[in-house]
Structure 1
């Protein structure tokens, strides 16, 4: 028997869909505005004609950004940071979450260790001690200063922990009966079954490393070592062009609007995340509810 929705249910569904559609449009409009400004002429921008569609389309801003060595170098630093940070974060997240997912009978004082990690997520030593620690370890002005301080993301550990605990215990018991040890069980069975959660945590890690800007400004003495987010924060927010602009750039900028150049850099900075997301989207919905279904 086919269940038909009542008029009230249909109206409620229509209202929900309309709200979600409006919310999606509100999320897309700022990006369209940035893209339109980056493709519009200086005269159109200065006269306020640009909204969500380019006016007098030109690629001058992108041509200027493409030849900027500082911008390209910052993208390279961010790419290295994401690749190295993703590898370290994922390995350490799995290695921490797997033992913490075991019962107290299998791992003594497991709850105490779990609360210890949660404590580090809620409280930190402070900005000055963190800087002194990085300095004393000789990591200032190096890529390690951007990666190692956040090598164990506790929030991701909690997500992975809950997913590991939701895996069927019978499957793990059968593996032990076949002579499988904890190490082999982790990499041969648990990790392959956890691809949805790992894709979700990996996406969080990629976005976090790509968008984080404060560590770059704090730990990098040379602006040439800035990751992209720190570079954009300096140029777009602080509007400090002294470290990244030479005489030829100043002459070239006379034919462009600075808002178009900023918009072009912002859009190019967000583009890699837009390219990565579709490949992880099929895992995202199944991974975002990890640990929600219990036996």
Structure 2
């Protein structure tokens, strides 16, 4: 077989390697338009949030006159000082952290195990259990029966009034079930041959390769429990047990009603608090979730089955 000398081959292929593959004019135009659209969409998405941040740090006169856009006008932190100087705020903030962590942990354990069981087509009564889960998406007992049930179980004024009724989201359950159904059965069969039990397969094989869906479900549950306020407002009577969302809700209701805020302060401070309390409450509520997202976001783009057996 005749071979081309190395120097000759270098002379033949060097121009092609140096020039590379050039993009066509239409593809270049497409990339430019695509980049411009992404920038515009990002700006449209960020604009309301940046406006809220600007209003949170602006003074009352500029807010009421509509002069606040993206940059704070008349920098002012009176409302932040009023809210964060209240010991009840920090007490309720700590309650929110505890409620969110405990509720998310319990919800993930129940959702993951239930979804993994439902993903097995050989499970007896599988269709019945799926039907029961889906049924609860469209029908529930109603507000009064739920209140009576929580009160009868002794959950009122406890963390369980928030955790137990919302322990499983059927939407999240179905998402995880669909994910586990597409999981390679070869891995589970190999683990079973090696002597692992069902729980061992779930803990040592399935979960380590399911970080993406687990991170997504953790974020969904954490955001849901963090923003939840109605359950605590309904089932708790002691202000010391409220989550921070109820505290901020009460603060916002007082600011927008006839009741004056900051009775110990001057009328100017009360007007300042009432003018931007909405922006401050929204910022204080969403800030922890924004800080949490970067630690979970990496799992959204990582390969789920990287390095494992493919079917």
TM category, shorter: 0.7 to 0.9
Equivalent position of 2:169 in the other structure: 153
- Give the count of matched residue pairs: 289
CA contact (8 A) 1:235 1:241 kept: no
CA contact (8 A) 1:93 1:156 kept: yes
How far is 1:118 from its partner? 1.3
Q: Which among 114, 122, 127 is matched to residue 111 of structure 1?
A: 127
Residues 212 and 15 (structure 1), Cα distance of their counterparts in 2 relative to 1, 3 Å cut: farther
Residues 198 and 188 (structure 1), Cα distance of their counterparts in 2 relative to 1, 3 Å cut: same
1:129-140 superposed matches below 5 A:
129-140=145-156
Residues 170 and 38 (structure 1), Cα distance of their counterparts in 2 relative to 1, 3 Å cut: same
| Separation of aligned partners in 2, 1:211 and 1:266 | 10
How far is 1:148 from its partner? 0.7
Equivalent position of 1:61 in the other structure: 79
Say if 2:169 is the partner of 1:144: no
Equivalent position of 1:45 in the other structure: 63
Q: Which has the higher contact order (CA 8 A, sep 6+)?
A: 1
Runs (5+) with no aligned partner, structure 1: 289-293
How far is 1:69 from its partner? 2.4
Equivalent position of 2:287 in the other structure: 271
| Separation of aligned partners in 2, 1:230 and 1:238 | 12
Say if 2:190 is the partner of 1:174: yes
Residues 170 and 186 (structure 1), Cα distance of their counterparts in 2 relative to 1, 3 Å cut: same
How far is 1:12 from its partner? 4.5
How far is 1:19 from its partner? 3.4
| Separation of aligned partners in 1, 2:239 and 2:269 | 21
Cα deviation digits, residues 51-79 of structure 1 (max 9, x gap): 11011223222222210223222211211
Runs (5+) with no aligned partner, structure 2: 1-15, 305-309
Greater mean deviation of Cα atoms: 29-38 or 63-72: 63-72
1:1-295 superposed matches below 5 A:
6-104=24-122, 107-236=123-252, 239=255, 247-248=263-264, 253-254=269-270, 256-286=272-302, 295=311
Residues 16 and 212 (structure 1), Cα distance of their counterparts in 2 relative to 1, 3 Å cut: farther
How far is 1:150 from its partner? 0.7
CA RMSD, 1 decimal? 2.8
Residues 127 and 211 (structure 1), Cα distance of their counterparts in 2 relative to 1, 3 Å cut: same
Greater mean deviation of Cα atoms: 24-33 or 203-212: 24-33
Residues 88 and 240 (structure 1), Cα distance of their counterparts in 2 relative to 1, 3 Å cut: farther
- Which secondary structure does the structure 2 equivalent of 1:57 belong to? coil
| Separation of aligned partners in 1, 2:27 and 2:109 | 47
Residues 138 and 244 (structure 1), Cα distance of their counterparts in 2 relative to 1, 3 Å cut: farther
Residues 249 and 211 (structure 1), Cα distance of their counterparts in 2 relative to 1, 3 Å cut: farther
Q: Give the TM-score, by structure 1 length.
A: 0.87
Work out which of the two has the higher radius of gyration on C-alpha atoms and give 1 or 2: 2
| Separation of aligned partners in 1, 2:124 and 2:221 | 30
| Separation of aligned partners in 2, 1:68 and 1:259 | 19
| Separation of aligned partners in 2, 1:188 and 1:205 | 23
CA contact (8 A) 2:256 2:274 kept: no
Residues 232 and 18 (structure 1), Cα distance of their counterparts in 2 relative to 1, 3 Å cut: farther
| Separation of aligned partners in 2, 1:249 and 1:120 | 49
| Separation of aligned partners in 2, 1:7 and 1:199 | 41
